Amino acid sequence: RKLLDQLYTHNGQTLSQLCEHLDMTRQAVTKHLTVLETANLVVTVWHGREKLHYLNPVPIQEIYDR
């Protein structure tokens, strides 16, 4: 949830930027991001050498609209 909140507050963050605000190891954040990507809640975009993470609000909105 904290990862999603971080992306909601400031979308398009790198892994390092996300780790700065969380009390988790880099490996744990990576693992959680992978789960969120699989659930289609986070989308990643490569910008040069940086991998930026973006919140995908569509699945959450679909659940809300039910």
Residue extents of the structural domains in the chain: 2-65
pLDDT, one tens digit for every residue, the chain (66 residues): 899 999 999 999 999 999 998 999 999 999 999 999 999 999 999 999 999 999 998 888 888 888
Q: What is the pLDDT of residue 45?
A: 97
User: What's the gap between Cα 30 and its chain centre?
Assistant: 9
Contact at 8 Å (CB) between 53 and 12?
A: yes
DSSP-derived letter for residue 19 is H
Residues making up the chain, counted from first to last = 66
pTM of the model: 0.86
CATH 1.10.3980.10 fits 2-65, yes or no: no
